[in-house]
Structure 1
Amino acid sequence: MKKILLGAAVMAMGAGAALAQDVVRLGTEGAYPPYNYIDDSGEVAGFERVLGDELCKRAELTCEWVTNDWDSIIPNLVSGNYDAIIAGMSITPEREEVVAFTQNYTPPSPSAFASMMDDIDLETAVIAAQTGTIQAAHVATMEGATLVEYPTPDETVAAMRSGEADAVLSDKDYLIPVVEESSDVSFVGDDVPLGGGIGMAFRQSDPELRETFDAAIQSMKDDGTLNELIVEYLGADSPKF
C-alpha cells in the first residue's frame, strides 16, 4: 500500500510539473562511464541514462538529454540551458550553496588512487584529477602533493600514462575498469570517502521539479529497482541502499 500511494504521489507531482513545461531537459557530461557516456550511435548511455529515463517515466514527464562539459555544467544549469543535472555529481555543501539537490541516488562511495608506480609516495606525488570535482578539492588539501587538473576523466588517466602525473584520483567506480583492463595500472594507497553520494541538481528556483524527481527516486529505492541498476551498471560491490 505504501508503494502504491507513493507512486500516486509521484504521478500527481509529475502532472503538475508537466503543466509548467512541455519537456524537461536533463544535462549530463557524456564522458564519465559507467555513469554516463556517448555510445557508438551518438546517444547518451550508461547508468544515469537508464536511471533518468526511468525517473521521467515514473513522473510522467517528457525528457530530453543535453550534454555539457563538466567545468561549466553548473553555470549552464543556472543560466537555463537545461533543467536538471544528472551527471555523477556528488552532493557537497559548497554545491548546495548554488544548486538544490534531490536525495542521493547512489550512496556515498569511495574515491581511489591509481598509478603505474608500485612504490609511489602519494604525499609527495603529482596527482591528476578532473577539474571542479571533489577529488581535485581533496588533492589540493594534501600537503606536499601536487595537483594537476584536466577537463575530462579520460585526460587524467592519459596524463598518468604519459608520465605527466604519478597517479590519478577519481571515483573508484570509474577507475575499476581502467585497472581491470590494464596490466600496468593498479590501485594504490587507501580509498578516500568523499561527498554525500550522488544526486540530481536543480536551480534553487525550481523546487516543484526537484520534489517531483525526489519522489521518483524514493519510489525506486522502495521497490528495489534502484539497487538493481546499481548492481547492473556499477557492480555488485558498489554501495547500495
Structure 2
Amino acid sequence: MKKLILGTAILALSAGIASASEVVRMGTEGAYPPYNFINDAGEVDGFERELGDELCKRARLTCEWVTNEWDSIIPNLVSANYDTIIAGMSITKERDEVIDFTQNYTQPDPSGYLALTGSDPDLKGGIIAAQTGTIQAAHIASSGATLVEFATPDETIAAVRNGEADAVLADDAYLRPIAEENDDLEMLKKTELLGGGVGMGLRESDRDLRAKFDAAIASMKADGSLNKLIMKWEIGPGF
C-alpha cells in the first residue's frame, strides 16, 4: 500500500509540475517554536522551515520565506502578499470557509495548559490566556472561562507571570519546552484535543498550487521522511 501511495504521489509531482523558476512566497509567523521561529542569524527556522523547503524541492518550486503577524496572516494571504500560510495553522471548518488547505502535515496534537508552578487554576471559571485567532482562543470562549487574547504567544506567557491570567492554553509542543526551561511555570494535567491537524493555507483560487503541495506532502508521508521531521522537532504523533 505504501509503495502504491508513493508511486501515485510521484506521478502527481511529475505531471504538470511548474518549473523551478516559479517563485512561491511562503508566509509564516516566525514566533511559534518549534513550528517556526527566527534564529540567531535572523532567518526563519524550525519544523515548518525544514518541511517547507523540502516540499518546495519535491514540487520543483523556488520558495521565498515571508513573515507576518499572526492576527493578519489570513487577510494578507487573501490579499496576495504571499502565496501560502505555513505557520502551525490548524485546519478548521471556519478557516476553510475563507481559504483552502492542503492535507494535514501533522496529526491533531493536544493543546495544554501552562500555569505558575504550584498554582491550582480554575480552568472552567478562571481567566485563561490564548493567542488571538487560534483554535485555543475559540475553545476558551465557548468553555465558560474568561478569555484574554494577546497578539503574540510570548505575551500569553507574560500574562500568566504578571497575574493577568490564571493559565494559558496553546499547543503542547510550544508550551512544554517553556515549562521545562522555567522553574516558575508548569504544565497542567488537563489537555484539549482541538482541530484537524496542521496544514498549509492557500487562496481558494490556487488549486494547482495546492495540488502540488498535496502531492509533495503525500510523498513525504509515504517514504517516512515526514515522520522523521516530526520526531526531530518533537511536534507530536506521526503518521
Whether TM exceeds 0.5 here: the answer is yes
Cα deviation, 1:96-116, whole Å, max 9, x if unaligned, reads 000110000000011011101
Residue 149 (structure 1) shift:
0.4
Instruction: Specify the alignment match of 1:73 in structure 2.
Output: 73
The correspondence of residues 87-166 of structure 1 with structure 2, limited to 5 A, is 87-116=87-116, 117-143=118-144, 145-166=145-166
* Deviation, structure 1 residue 121: 1.5
> Match for 1:6: what amino acid?
A
Q: Once the two structures are superposed, what CA deviation does each residue of 1:173-197 show, in whole Å capped at 9, x if it has no partner?
A: 1001011111121122411000000
- 2:238 corresponds to: 240
Match of 2:14 among 11, 22, 26: 11
- Structure 1 gap segments, 5+ residues each: none
Contact 1:134/1:195 (<8 A) preserved: yes
Tell me the secondary structure at the aligned position of residue 15 of structure 2. helix
TM-superposed CA distance for 1:88, in Å, is 0.2
2: CA distance, partners of 1:188 / 1:126: 15
The aligned residue for residue 206 of structure 1 is 206
RMSD: 1.4
| Cα distance in 1 between the residues matched to 2:52 and 2:16 | 16
Q: Which amino acid aligns with 1:11?
A: S
Distance (whole Å) between structure 2 residues aligned to residue 11 and residue 87 of structure 1: 27
Deviations 1:86-136 (A, max 9, x none): 000000000000011000000001101110153221112111100000000
* Equivalent residue, structure 2, for 1:47: 47
The change in CA–CA distance for 1:5 and 1:91 in structure 2 (over 3 A counts) is closer
* Equivalent position amino acid for 1:120 in 2: P
* TM value normalised by structure 1: 0.94
Q: Is the Cα–Cα contact under 8 Å of residues 101 and 199 in structure 1 kept in the other structure?
A: yes
| Percentage identity across paired residues of the two chains | 62
Worse overlay, 176-185 or 50-59: 176-185
User: Residue deviations 1:12-38, cap 9 Å, x none?
Assistant: 3432xx48x721000000000000000
Q: What displacement does 1:158 show?
A: 1.0
Distance verdict in 2 for CA 1:163–1:219, change over 3 Å: same
**Alpha-carbon offset, residue 164 of structure 1:** 1.1
